[in-house]
Structure 1
Amino acid sequence: MKNRALSLLSLLLFVTINLNAQTPALTFDAFEAKLQQAGSRAQILDARSEEEYTQNHLKGAVSFSVADQANFAKKTKKLDKNSPVFIYSIGNGRSGQLVKQLRENGFADVTELPGGLSKWIGSGRPVESTVGAGLSLNDYQAKLKSDKLVLVDFGSRYCGSCKKLAPIVDELEKELTSTIKVVRIEAYENKALVKELGITSLPTLVLYKGDKEVWKKAGVTPKAEIQANIAESL
């Protein structure tokens, strides 16, 4: 009887763990709705660096850099464990780390912004900013004028994935100098353009032939895949 009870308990724990693991992540729209519903109770944390926060952040957010582990305990004491917490970073790297840490420290209602600040800005949501809007669409289109294919790299100097892609783009620029022109866009210094073009993830590569977009890919794209699309577009 005792063994049966233990078996049932083990089965219950297994099912519970798997159900929790399979719980679907909150959608972008659901995050926004939950944030609005929370109102003044919302505790919005920016998991990026202080410098990034100063440049652009969600209204009402406070800087809570995940890299500042020395002051983690001190900063968490200022939060209310009974009020909802909303966390974001560029994508879902640093914010994911902070979500995990807060849950481990007893914060039950912690929600991560799916797609991060990249999707928030690219989807046209507002931010508080100390940098200008940057290039206009006309300015951008002027950069695309070339008798070569134009490869545009939308990224950020703060983005880990962007740093991984950058040397690949540099290599292609040197190897295919007669074939392509490379344009690099610092996304958070060009918010109006990012919104206009619907760039919701960093890094994102866009390939143009003349004034027409012929290929687009988000993420750290392998060199061979970029080369193949360039060759196909010639």
Structure 2
Amino acid sequence: MRTFRPLFVWVWLLAAHTVVFAQTAPRRDLVSFEEFESRLAKAGKNAQILDARLPEEYAQNHLEGAVSFSVANEADFTKAIAKLDKNKPTFIYSIANGRSGKLARDLRDNGFTEVTELPGGLSKWIGLGKPVVSTVGPGLSLADYQASLKSDKLVLVDFGSRYCGSCKKLAPTVDSIKHEQASSVKVITIEAYENKSLTKEVGVTALPTLILYRGNQVVWKKSGVTPKAEIERALAEANL
């Protein structure tokens, strides 16, 4: 029994640490998309809607009533939140939930009582066809998009955004496949926020999203930073 006692103690300490960490970890209050809409509608004109993206992103597309809230440093952040009411319902969004998550934590730490993030961010909002204030044109029509899919090769479409961190991580992988498999794969890149109607019609609700077509038919679809090996496997299986 003595031989196993140190191992037992180590396992017990690890388990105890895990429980304590889980109890003290910052709470991530992400509601459902439907609940976000419900709370926003209920708040009405009382809602404070904050766009956590860059000002240039905000200028292109944003929720009605939202204000640009991209704060570079602590001093600016303190000045910015001083203009807000900590007791009013506050709604936050970014592309997904990266920047909005950080802003939500900072606001709660500063005494804001009701902070709600848009789950899935503006990507999901636009992908579901919800309205935005936009200075960007309609972009590609569905007919033009479908015409671009006509090819004897497999067609890999990358829906992303130049402002999306995950999209930037995936871009080199897609680019390498474009060059390495040029003889068998056609690669198309779509800037989602410049093609909002198309993004909705194709059913893209998260960025980045890859869609693989064979003969105009979807044979594979994946959101997120997909490993190169997984993409190559999907291409190989589509060629069978």
Q: Deviations over 1:6-53 (max 9, x none)?
A: xxxxxxxx99x8499788731000000000000011000000000000
RMSD in angstroms over aligned alpha carbons? 1.8
CA contact (8 A) 1:66 1:94 kept: no
In the alignment, the residues of structure 2 paired with residue 82 and residue 24 of structure 1 have an alpha-carbon distance, to the nearest angstrom, of: 17
1:85 to 90, 96, 101: 90
Give the TM-score taking structure 2 as reference length: 0.88
In the alignment, the residues of structure 2 paired with residue 42 and residue 161 of structure 1 have an alpha-carbon distance, to the nearest angstrom, of: 30
| Percent identical | 66
Q: Deviations over 1:158-182 (max 9, x none)?
A: 0000000000000111110101000
In the alignment, the residues of structure 1 paired with residue 54 and residue 27 of structure 2 have an alpha-carbon distance, to the nearest angstrom, of: 31
In the alignment, the residues of structure 1 paired with residue 73 and residue 24 of structure 2 have an alpha-carbon distance, to the nearest angstrom, of: 33
* Within-5 A mapping of 1:1-234: 18=23, 25-67=30-72, 69-234=74-239
Displacement of 1:68: 5.2
CA contact (8 A) 2:29 2:116 kept: no
Identify if the C-alpha distance between structure 1 residues 73 and 186 changes in structure 2 by more than 3 Å, giving closer, same or farther.
Answer: same
Letter in 2 for 1:161: S
Displacement of 1:121: 0.4
Identify if the C-alpha distance between structure 1 residues 209 and 69 changes in structure 2 by more than 3 Å, giving closer, same or farther.
Answer: farther
Structure 1: 5+ residue stretches without partners: 1-13
Q: How many residues align?
A: 220
CA contact (8 A) 1:156 1:188 kept: yes
Identify if the C-alpha distance between structure 1 residues 22 and 86 changes in structure 2 by more than 3 Å, giving closer, same or farther.
Answer: closer
Identify if the C-alpha distance between structure 1 residues 78 and 97 changes in structure 2 by more than 3 Å, giving closer, same or farther.
Answer: same
CA contact (8 A) 1:66 1:98 kept: no
Q: Give the 4+ runs in structure 1 shifted more than 4 A.
A: 19-24
Identify if the C-alpha distance between structure 1 residues 123 and 19 changes in structure 2 by more than 3 Å, giving closer, same or farther.
Answer: farther
Displacement of 1:71: 1.4
Give the TM-score taking structure 1 as reference length: 0.90
Structure 2: 5+ residue stretches without partners: 1-18
In the alignment, the residues of structure 2 paired with residue 85 and residue 115 of structure 1 have an alpha-carbon distance, to the nearest angstrom, of: 17
Partner of 1:6: none
In the alignment, the residues of structure 2 paired with residue 95 and residue 22 of structure 1 have an alpha-carbon distance, to the nearest angstrom, of: 14
In the alignment, the residues of structure 2 paired with residue 194 and residue 221 of structure 1 have an alpha-carbon distance, to the nearest angstrom, of: 19
